[in-house]
Chain A
Amino acid sequence: MSSAAPAQLSVSLWRGSDDGCYETYSVPRRASQTVLDVVTYVQRHIDATLSYRFACRVGMCGSCAMTVNGRPRWTCRTHVAKVAANGRLKIGPLENLPRIKDLATDMQPFFEKWRQAEGVFAPSLTRAEPMARIKPDSRARMAADAAIECINCGVCYAACDTVRWNANYLGPAALNRAWTLVNDERDAGNAARLTAVAASGGCHSCHSHQSCQEHCPLALNPTESIAGLKRRTVAAYLNGELKA
């Protein structure tokens, strides 16, 4: 912590549900302090009724995402020094999701859209058959690998303008997941999957604003995955394999 940093942080936290408001707390500034540390301090030392969600604290579980000074972020991997140069933090729940209470959102619509996008692996082999041999450097596997590391934190979903405008839009995470499965040679569910992502609210609703790519903490590029789905579905439609 630099010597110029204030000893106390002024932290505004969203309290309540949709009809709530921001309340401001004073939190001691510490070295190597993360935004999650700040929220946890408030909950443990100032107001035990504060609701928020976290688990691993090391950027693996994806459960602590919140809106920090206007941007969706993992709070566990966001240092205060990076986002609160003036000693002020404004922390709210993720956008584009129903608010349960305080900083906790209901992730059900997010995961429901995964299901709608046929984001579940559909095996083409049984246990009795030999394991499929996939070339790591094949074009399809490389495309899947580029998108596979998503941990469902919901940051891209909260950052997406199209999700904000169109409640039926499946969103970048679900479509990114669909793209990994479209490129998985072991999967047998592509007919239903391409139909799902080519329907209204699917990949063709994306405006390519690239907010998902800009905000993804893992530097994934869902916009590129969605562009791949657009190409694949258009080809399938023109070949008569899809009905819309």
Chain B
Amino acid sequence: MNVRLYVWQRATAALMAPLVLVHIAVILYATRAGLSAADILSRTHNSIAWATFYGIFVAAASIHASIGVRNILVEWSPFSERGAGRFAAVLGIALALLGFHAVFALVVA
């Protein structure tokens, strides 16, 4: 890992720390309050706040996870650094697409 990847991974980790806490709190609230899927969608639909919250979460998680996976591949697999970088880039894009699709479904669709 070089300094650029290191900074991105640490920065996204710092960004996600409070987001994870809020996310877990939301899960606990939704399950304990017995909210149905329709109840949840009614709260998130057209909500700029939830779109922003989970949009940032998805972007940070995609960057953070792909850098981490790249590092694991470099150390524990036969991948070269370039090969691991390419695989991680594809993984990061896939995670971002899946995540933004979910956010879109939650807020817009």
Q: Judge whether A217 is part of the interface by a CB distance below 8 angstroms.
A: no
- Of A162, A165, A166, A204, the residue contacting B2 (CB under 8 A) is A204
Q: Judge whether B21 is part of the interface by a CB distance below 8 angstroms.
A: no
- A202 CA to B4 CA, complexed, in Å: 12
**Residues of B contacting A204 in the complex (Cβ-Cβ under 8 angstroms):** 1-3, 5-6
Write the chain A residue with the least CB distance to B1: A204
Q: Give B44-70 as 1s and 0s: 1 = Cβ < 8 Å from A's Cβ atoms.
A: 000000000000000000000000000
Q: Judge whether B89 is part of the interface by a CB distance below 8 angstroms.
A: no
Q: Give A208-223 as 1s and 0s: 1 = Cβ < 8 Å from B's Cβ atoms.
A: 0000000000000000
Write the chain B residue with the least CB distance to A205: B1
Q: Judge whether B7 is part of the interface by a CB distance below 8 angstroms.
A: yes
B63 to chain A, nearest CB (A): 16
Q: Judge whether A81 is part of the interface by a CB distance below 8 angstroms.
A: no
Given contacts A200-B1, A205-B1, contact A166 B74 (CB under 8 A): yes
Interface residues on chain B, number (Cβ under 8 Å): 12
Stretch of A3-11, A70-78, A230-238 at the chain-chain interface: A230-238
Given contacts A162-B75, A165-B76, contact A237 B1 (CB under 8 A): no
- Of A166, A198, A199, A233, the residue contacting B75 (CB under 8 A) is A166
Is B76 a contact partner of A242 (Cβ separation < 8 A)? no
**Residues of A contacting B3 in the complex (Cβ-Cβ under 8 angstroms):** 198-199, 202, 204, 233-234, 237, 242, 244
- A165 CA to B71 CA, complexed, in Å: 11
A162, A199, A230, A244: which has the most chain B beta carbons within 10 Å? Answer: A244
**Residues of B contacting A234 in the complex (Cβ-Cβ under 8 angstroms):** 3, 6-7
- A200 CA to B70 CA, complexed, in Å: 12
Is A199 a contact partner of B2 (Cβ separation < 8 A)? yes
- A238 CA to B6 CA, complexed, in Å: 12
- A128 CA to B38 CA, complexed, in Å: 82
B56 to chain A, nearest CB (A): 21
Is A230 a contact partner of B2 (Cβ separation < 8 A)? no
Q: How large is the interface on A (under 10, 10 to 19, 20 to 34, 35 or more residues)?
A: 10 to 19
**Residues of A contacting B4 in the complex (Cβ-Cβ under 8 angstroms):** 237, 244
B4 to chain A, nearest CB (A): 4
- A156 CA to B74 CA, complexed, in Å: 21
- A76 CA to B108 CA, complexed, in Å: 72
Is A244 a contact partner of B75 (Cβ separation < 8 A)? no
Those of B1-40 within 8 Å (CB) of chain A: 1-7
A165, A198, A199, A200: which has the most chain B beta carbons within 10 Å? Answer: A200
A162, A237, A238: which has the most chain B beta carbons within 10 Å? Answer: A237
**Residues of A contacting B75 in the complex (Cβ-Cβ under 8 angstroms):** 162, 165-166
- A234 CA to B3 CA, complexed, in Å: 6
Given contacts A200-B81, A237-B7, A238-B7, contact A244 B2 (CB under 8 A): yes
Q: Lowest 4 A-B CB distances belong to which pairs?
A: A165-B75, A244-B4, A198-B3, A204-B6
Q: Name B residues whose Cβ lies closer than 8 Å to a Cβ of A.
A: 1-7, 71, 74-76, 81
Q: Name A residues whose Cβ lies closer than 8 Å to a Cβ of B.
A: 162, 165-166, 168, 198-200, 202, 204-205, 230, 233-234, 237-238, 242, 244
A-B contact pairs, 17 of them (CB 8 A): A165-B75, A165-B76, A166-B74, A199-B3, A200-B1, A200-B2, A200-B81, A204-B1, A204-B3, A205-B1, A205-B71, A233-B3, A234-B3, A234-B6, A234-B7, A237-B4, A237-B7
